[in-house]
Amino acid sequence: MPQKKKKLLISVINVLLVFVVVIIQYTPLLSMKIGTATPMIALAALIAISMFCSELTASLAGMILGIFTDTSSSTSFGFNSIVFFAIAFLTSFFIHYLFNNNFRSAIALGIILSALYFIVRWLFFFSFGHSINDSFTYLFQYALPSIIYTTVITLIFYLFEKLLFKKIIK
């Protein structure tokens, strides 16, 4: 199979993956919640996909995934489209210039970028307009477990993406 077709096939699989992920993330009875930890599976999939893309492709994928996430998320003002765009860019940028593309990098990026997402979310939607008690309750009891949970899901997606590239490209 020519290289172009292989890349197209990977793109199609990733688009389908993202579509399924957004549906799973927001379907009312398909909650993956464990206690107060709720994984941001759309973010996990995005980090994993961005590790294998160029900065521009990753950023655009982040934007599109963010826009679709915004249609269902309780966050307002197109928050996810902006943050996902930035996270996808940072993932791809870090992989190209700072990290090697391996499992340990996936763990590091999963933690750093999930933390970035949940902290920005906390700053915009929970640190102001809520009581100090509620604000810190969200940060430590909801955001922190969710960061760990999202990182775990990121690793699963990373392994899937790695397998996908191994099977199709190589």
Q: Which residues in this chain contact another protein in the complex, by CB under 8 A?
A: 19, 22-23, 25-33, 36, 38, 40, 54-56, 59-60, 63, 67-68, 70-79, 81-82, 85-86, 89, 93, 96-97, 129-131, 133-134, 137-138, 142, 146
Q: How far is the CB of 64 from another protein (least distance, A)?
A: 8
Q: How far is the CB of 103 from another protein (least distance, A)?
A: 24
> Would you say 71 or 100 has its CB closer to another protein?
71
> Would you say 14 or 164 has its CB closer to another protein?
14
Q: How far is the CB of 102 from another protein (least distance, A)?
A: 20
> Would you say 107 or 145 has its CB closer to another protein?
145
Q: Which of 124, 135, 109 is nearest to 43 (CA)?
A: 109
What type of residue sits at position 12? V
Q: How far is the CB of 1 from another protein (least distance, A)?
A: 27
> Would you say 78 or 162 has its CB closer to another protein?
78
Where b means 16+ CB within 10 Å and e means fewer, 52-71 reads: bbebeebbebbbbbbebbbe
* CA–CA distance, 77 with 115 (Å, rounded to integer): 20
Question: Hunting for tokens 């996270």 — which residue is that?
Answer: 87
* CA–CA distance, 57 with 42 (Å, rounded to integer): 16
Question: Hunting for tokens 């791809």 — which residue is that?
Answer: 92
